[in-house]
Structure 1
Amino acid sequence: MDVTSGRAPGTMELVALGDSLTEGVGDPHGRRLHGWIHHLTQPPAPWRLSANLARTGARAAHVRREQLATAVALAPAVATCVVGVNDVLDRRFDAGRFAVEYEALVGGLREAAHVGVLAMTLHDLSEGLPLTRRARTSLRSRTAAANKVIEEVAGAHGAWLLEAREAVAFRGAGMLSVDRLHPNRRGHRYLAACAAEVLRGEGRVQHTAGPPAADPLGLRLRATGGHLRWLARHLAGSPR
Structure 2
Amino acid sequence: MPDEMSENKARSLRGELYYAFSPEMAKERYRCHAAVERYNNAGDVSRRKRVELWRGISGDPTQLPPQTAGTTEDEDEAQFTHDPIIEPPFHCDYGTNILLGSGVYINFNCTILDTCRVSIGARTLFGPNVQLYSATHPLDPEVRRGTEGPEMGGQITVGEDCWIGGSVVVLPGITVGKGAVVGAGSVVTKDVAPYTIVAGNPARKLRDVPRGTKAEVTSGALAALERDQAREKSLRP
TM-score above 0.5: no
Which gives a bigger RCO, structure 1 or 2 (Cα 8 Å, sep 6+)? Answer: 1
More strand by share: 2
* TM-score, normalised with respect to structure 1: 0.24
